[in-house]
Amino acid sequence: YQAKCADLDIMHIKDQEQRFFNFCSKSFTNRTIGLNENGLGVESMQVLSKILKNNFNFFRLNLSKNNIGEEGVVQLASLLKGHQSIVAVDISSNDIAVEGLSKFFYKLKENVTLVSINVCSLEGLHRNRLGSRGAEAVSEFLKYNRVLTHLNIGDTGIAKEGLEYIIQGIAH
């Protein structure tokens, strides 16, 4: 909760802390961490990475519609790089630009457990952007990953050139 307050630049309120704790208790079920639409940013990613580093009880991570941005997604990728239990990650609509998503996919080349990745942009704020350079990173990732079954890159601005990169990655 303190990290979330730091991300949102708001005061720590004890009442709100209890509400967030109750929310987490309900949202951490069925081996899923569901922290979508919570205003999470870089500070929250640092805390979450520490929590999950040696915790293999969860296999799905939903962080959609937050504001983790460039630095937060790189921290997340560092965690996921060698994590053995997370198989699905949703970071859609998190205000992640080309550089951040490129680093994310390059770092994940060594991951052998992720079967589902969602980096799409949903309507509204905090859109993710891949562009053709980010699509090139996805292509490199796809050349190494043999277990991925679901990749959502919808509405991330890859254009025709980016699509060609991704087709090359799939074909490899």
Q: Is the pLDDT of residue 27 over 90?
A: no
Taking only the tens place, the pLDDT of each residue in 107-147 is: 999 899 999 999 999 887 789 999 999 999 999 999 998 89
First-to-last alpha carbon distance for the chain, in angstroms, is: 43
Mean pLDDT for all residues in the chain: 93
The whole-number pLDDT of residue 62 equals 97
Inter-residue contact 36 to 42 (CB < 8 Å): no
Rg (CA), the chain: 16
Q: How far is it, in rounded angstroms, from Cα 8 to Cα 4?
A: 6
- Average pLDDT of the residues in 86-92: 97
Mark residue 71 as left, alpha or beta (left: phi above 0; alpha: psi -120 to 50; beta: remaining). Answer: alpha
Query: What is the pLDDT confidence band of residue 22, given thresholds at 50, 70 and 90?
Result: confident
Q: Is the pLDDT of residue 168 over 90?
A: yes
CA distances for 85 relative to 69, 88, 105, 109, 113, angstroms: 24, 9, 18, 16, 7
% of the chain residues with pLDDT over 90: 74
Phi, psi of 153 (to 5 degrees): -120, 25
The whole-number pLDDT of residue 137 equals 96
pTM: 0.92
Q: What number of other Cβ atoms are within 10 A of residue 57's Cβ?
A: 9
Query: What is the pLDDT confidence band of residue 29, given thresholds at 50, 70 and 90?
Result: confident
The token pair that represents 78 in the structure block: 């560092």
The whole-number pLDDT of residue 12 equals 87
